Structure 1
Amino acid sequence: MLGGLCADDSRAAVALAVPFLIPIAADARHPHRAAALGVLSGPARARHFGVASRDELLLHRTDPQRHAPDDYDDYGVEVTGYPAGWSVAAARAAITAEAPTLLSLLNGSAPAIRIDAAYTLATAADPDHTVRTGLATRLATEHDAVVRAALLLTAAETTRAHAHPPTVWWLRERWQDRTEAPEVRLAAAIGWLCLTDEPAPEDLHQTLSTLATDERTHTMDALP
């Protein structure tokens, strides 16, 4: 079933499955738990078409500064003829409704589960900052460097959708913190760059030049 959903060209089909996938992802005994969680947030995100600029990298919805705000964003039309934004909105609504369940997965025993849970939570609406608080709480006790990197990228993506200036400064402090693992500092640097229009300072150039090695890139391949 999951393989068929991944291969389906219609975002609507996957979006309709989101409410059914969440209980599977939350069931520690289900054999397809990881696969369900891995595809959960796909229909809730913009298709980035390989764009990797700081303006677009962590943007999972239309930028309200450049487009008229609405509930569906600017995603064009499904193969079924329906506005693609309808399925995007439906997927985000389902993920938002189940945010408490997904937040509990941040404490899962497997790093991959914690990473994918964070990645999915980034697409939830967060007017009360519940998701942001959950990410910060998990980060305070998380020891796996790649999971910590995922939590920071999730916080940055959430902040792109729901502006929160203190998070921008917090991310800057993280990439400047030499006691943090290199993967964490790189993730914080990427997140900060995507949240600000400021030119990259010289110390950030030096940080990236020092830390962005081929070996580290391979390590961070575990991130979605």
Structure 2
Amino acid sequence: MQLAGDLARMDLFSKDSRSELLRIMGPLARYDSWGYLENWAVEAVRMMIGRDAGPLIGLLNDDDPQVRGRAAYVLATALTAGQDIAGALRERLDVERDPTVQMNLILGLAQHDSERDLATRALDWTRALWSDPASASGVRLGAAIAWLALTPESAPPELRRVLADMPMPATYELAWIWWLDVRPGRLEDWWQDLTR
């Protein structure tokens, strides 16, 4: 599933900055290393994911938290074909207890809204989540990361206070930044850049 989600994103390995983290398609046409238009390949993968979203939605209820988190990662890229993907992600978030999966679900919902020109709604929603002390830690941390990825604004003082009490998500295996874990020191750099 990680591979399917990665193939549904353009220029995957540059997505370690705030402005790129939740972006699927770039604003300009890009060509891959073989000279093919990458936009077409990414769109084709997204269409297939949307067409086969039913089984992926079913995996949101799998016993394995890694499967649930990766299903959210893949579903967020889908070009919808009649499935209520956002509804399925929200429904899972309502019952999810694993902090890693909570973070992946929040990022998936934020990306889903952002891709559909609903970034303002996603900003309001994620701000409400990270500012609520009653929210679970995975929800708050996922919402903080999503909020920072949705806007170029500096983190407000109240978000800085929340982040000061939160651990860096090194142990969470976020599907959006899995490759940073294999680069020594890069996850720490990413966290510092994100929260700066």
What's the TM-score once normalised by structure 2's chain length? 0.80
Cα distance, 1:127–1:192 mapped onto 2, change above 3 Å: farther
Residue 98 of structure 1 and its aligned partner are, at CA, apart by 0.8
Provide Cα deviations, 1:158-179, integer angstroms capped at 9, x if missing partner: 1221122333211111111212
Letter in 2 for 1:191: A
Q: Distance in 1 between matches of 2:154 and 2:174?
A: 29
Ranges in structure 1 where 5+ consecutive residues have no aligned partner: 1-36, 68-73
Note if contact 1:159-1:167 (Cα within 8 Å) is conserved in structure 2: yes
Q: Distance in 2 between matches of 1:157 and 1:114?
A: 17
Letter in 2 for 1:177: D
Aligned positions of 1:52-63 closer than 5 A: 52-63=16-27
After the TM superposition, list the runs of 4 or more consecutive aligned residues in structure 1 that deviate by more than 3 angstroms.
48-51, 126-129
Secondary structure of 1:211 counterpart: coil
Residue 75 of structure 1 and its aligned partner are, at CA, apart by 2.4
Which residue does 1:219 correspond to in 2? 171
The one of 52, 55, 58 aligned to 1:98 = 52
Which structure has the larger Rg?
1
Cα distance, 1:114–1:52 mapped onto 2, change above 3 Å: same
Cα distance, 1:50–1:98 mapped onto 2, change above 3 Å: same
Which residue does 2:138 correspond to in 1? 183
Q: Distance in 1 between matches of 2:97 and 2:162?
A: 22
How many percent identity over aligned positions? Answer: 34
Q: Distance in 2 between matches of 1:159 and 1:128?
A: 16
Cα distance, 1:38–1:197 mapped onto 2, change above 3 Å: closer
Residue 131 of structure 1 and its aligned partner are, at CA, apart by 1.1
Which residue does 2:39 correspond to in 1? 85
Ranges in structure 2 where 5+ consecutive residues have no aligned partner: 179-196
Question: Comparing 141-150 with 161-170, which one deviates more in the overlay?
Answer: 161-170
Secondary structure of 2:60 counterpart: helix
Matched, 1:121 2:75: yes
Provide Cα deviations, 1:91-123, integer angstroms capped at 9, x if missing partner: 111001011221111111111110110000011
The one of 103, 107, 128 aligned to 1:149 = 103
Which residue does 1:110 correspond to in 2? 64
| Greater relative contact order (CA < 8 Å, ≥ 6 in sequence) | 2
Matched, 1:162 2:116: yes
Which residue does 1:45 correspond to in 2? 9
